[in-house]
Amino acid sequence: MLSQIPFELPLKFLPGLASGEIIRYGTILKHSGTGQILGHLQESGVAQTLLSHALSSVTSVTSPISLASTVLNAGVSVYTAVQVRQLKAMMETLQAFQIATLGISLIGVGVSVGGFLYMRKRFNNLDSRLDRLLDTVKTGFENLEKSGVRQQMSRTKSLVQRAELARTLIDSSKEYKEVAAQLGEQAAYFEGEIVHLISAKGVINHETFWLLAQLWMLCNSVRLDCQIWANELLNALHVSEKIAVEYQGVFDRIGPTSFDVGHSEGRSTVRFLRDATDAAHTKPFLLDYLRTKRLDGPIYIESLERETEQPMLFLKIS
């Protein structure tokens, strides 16, 4: 329940952030002098609803450089005036904390991206892009078995759907755990493809990489959410630590000039990957807080989903 969880508005920390009194790492805000962790940034259900509509009308986002502006532009055309205001406010908050791309990506801000419906929409978006990419772009997929990739996509899609429907089962916890385990395998597949892609000689095909990276992160995000819904917080914590190390191992090898696109676009992609890695490193801290405070995973996510006004929240821990 929201009343039980000490959420605050993140905007009140902006002056401290501007003065250097507060520093942000990943989704954690901490006091620069004492090093004390103040709390965690977290998106709410409102953010997912807003992004879900905006992103469903976007089909051409091929890199993080255009993501923020595309979402805003799409939002203006599909929303009511109130929603546009909310979307703009959310983007301003995300930009103020320098996590705009992260906030609207599949990583999400905080421990959970919450809505599986939103994740499925994002996945469908990626699915249509993959079809186009497999048919038109040869580079990067030359060594991939096309049918194999499609098969993995279908499997992942069905798992996201299972996660979405798991809540309606009598023994939903079991289903969440099973889906999480299988998504772990899917994540390993996409990770393997990324490693293969970046290990090849020469520059990396940016579009292929960006797509695979998003699929990898989607699998991991849904996987963690399933663990939280199953209230397996200790396991989720350890899984999230492992994920962070994997992101670091793969993404640290890439630089702004590694891709076959302009260096500015490469730089923006790499910045996103660094932010994603940082956010992944801070997830265990939030999960640990929920554990040690005996906050139930499902209750935590439900309280985020119930929030109707504020897209961004701050979970105060000290």
Partner 1 sequence: MNHPNTSSTTDSNSTAFIRKLWRFLNRDIRTFKWWGQGTKTSESDYSSLPEVHGDAGAQKVAEVDIRSEVDPRKIVSLRFRRDVLDWRDDFHFNVTEAASQAKSRLASQIENDLSNIGFLRNRLFKKSAREVLEDHIESCVRSPMRQALQLEQVALGRRLQGWLPNRHESVSIWIMWPKLEWDTRLDLNFTVENRDEILNTLQDLILGINGLADRHRHWANQYSTQIMAMRHVVSDSL
Q: Cβ 25 to partner 1, closest distance in Å?
A: 5
Tokens representing residue 294 in the block: 């005996």
**CA neighbor of 313 nearest in space, from 286, 291, 284:** 286
* Rounded Cα gap, residues 177 and 98, in angstroms: 34
Q: Cβ 213 to partner 1, closest distance in Å?
A: 16
Q: Cβ 310 to partner 1, closest distance in Å?
A: 26
Residues with Cβ within 8 Å of residue 177, at least 6 apart in sequence: 226, 227, 230, 232
Question: Between 206 and 281, whose beta carbon lies closer to partner 1?
Answer: 281
Question: Between 105 and 282, whose beta carbon lies closer to partner 1?
Answer: 282
* Rounded Cα gap, residues 237 and 247, in angstroms: 15
For partner 1, the binding residues (CB under 8 A) are 23, 25-26, 28, 30, 32-37, 233-234, 237-238, 252, 255-257, 263, 266-267, 270-271, 274, 278, 281-282, 284-285, 288, 291-292, 294
Backbone angles phi, psi at 37, to 5 degrees: -75, 125
Q: Cβ 3 to partner 1, closest distance in Å?
A: 19
- Which amino acid makes up residue 190? F
Question: Between 35 and 308, whose beta carbon lies closer to partner 1?
Answer: 35
Q: Cβ 208 to partner 1, closest distance in Å?
A: 21
Question: Between 28 and 215, whose beta carbon lies closer to partner 1?
Answer: 28
Question: Between 267 and 316, whose beta carbon lies closer to partner 1?
Answer: 267
* Rounded Cα gap, residues 58 and 76, in angstroms: 12
Q: Give me Rg for the CA atoms of the chain.
A: 19
